[in-house]
Amino acid sequence: MQMFELPDKPLDIIFLAAFWLSALLQLFFYYFFYLRPGLYRHKRNKRKAEPVSVIICARNEAENLRSFLPSVMEQDYHDYEVIVVNDCSDDDTEDVLEQFAKQHANLRVTTIHKESSLRHSKKMALFIGIKAASNDLLLLTDADCQPVSGDWISHFASSFTKKTDFVLGYGAYLKEKGLLNKYIRYDSMFIAMQYTGMAMAGVPYMGVGRNLAYRKSVFMKNKGFGPHLNLQSGDDDLFVNALAGKDNTRINLAPDSFTRSIPAYTWKAFVKQKTRHTSTSSHYRTATKILLLLEPLSRVLFYTMLVLLLTISKLYLLAGIPGGIVLLSKIIITALAGKNLNERDLLVFSFIFDLVSPFLNMYFLLKVAFNRHQYYEWK
């Protein structure tokens, strides 16, 4: 029977070679990178934790500040300040912050007023907040984000050592009903598996501004956002991509260190958000771009060749056994990561999203490429 025989047709040989190569690449990414966050166990640093400056940029975030700022102001930590940069808001943000400032002595508010001749990027707001910070340890989050526990600051501060300049955390999204919400959360989880796994392997390339910590001294020494200052986005990923390395970067995936953000509720809003984030990827280091491109390409090739080998060539064992190994590995490793990132319910949908996401990400890349000069408002 053909299932026990080696292929003799040239096309079958090409299909099988392409399939085995893609399978090996998928196994490499899953076992060398994505398994690491799944096996992560948090260890607190015994060194005395330093004071922390939490920085939040807000534009028209009155309602979110009312809901989420209390969870930041009521952290169980001995020495921290919170700096909120009110960036050109025209809602009740200023009044809300004024009320919070009366209740909390460690809240500092900086206001940027709108100027018609200037475009105000998040980088400008963040730079002003960082410059105003009294402490060297900076912990960044957004106005629509909520720490999941009162130990959020404590976990990040305890992750720093004398050699640590960056600590990368997990910024999740709130669980809501609907398939879009599940995809947004899956996308966030998978990206976290990538950037934390690669950082743990010694090749950090990004963090998320919803939950990211680094030293003010590193920021100022390297002239802030440096060559990427004029780009509309990249306040988190490009800064990390440029300066984070094997020896100065740590991961914090303790469950109490997570934040959860308000997700997009419409496809249009999600596309806008993803397009803005994708617009910076062309500025990554070359090695990073190769790795990030190789994974989805090998994934698409793997699924395509698997279907062709099983349906057209009917090489059941030669395709089925390695295909089964890859699929089982994906299930196990995604389940481990989902457990550590508190996203267990996404495992059921992971196969569908694993197939769909490369094509969606290609759509976002093409959208950016064809709208190269578009201005992306951060809020």
* Tens-place pLDDT, residues 29-81: 999 999 999 999 987 776 678 999 999 999 999 999 999 999 999 999 999 99
Kindly list the domain boundaries of the chain, sorted by start residue.
2-38+287-370, 42-267
Residues of the chain with pLDDT under 70: 1-6, 46-47, 116-120, 229-232, 372-379
Cβ proximity of 238 and 280 under 8 Å = yes
**The predicted structure's pLDDT at residue 375:** 57
**The predicted structure's pLDDT at residue 1:** 44
Instruction: State the maximum Cα–Cα separation within the chain, in Å, rounded to a whole number.
Output: 80
Cβ proximity of 280 and 179 under 8 Å = no
CA-to-CA distance for 174 and 171, rounded, in angstroms? 10
Cβ proximity of 19 and 305 under 8 Å = yes
Decide yes or no: CATH 3.90.550.10 for domain 42-267. Answer: yes
pLDDT in tens, 312-330: 888 889 999 999 999 999 9
If you count DSSP H runs as helices and E runs as strands, how many of each does the chain have, helices first? 13, 10
CA-to-CA distance for 207 and 211, rounded, in angstroms? 8
Three-state secondary-structure class, residue 202: coil
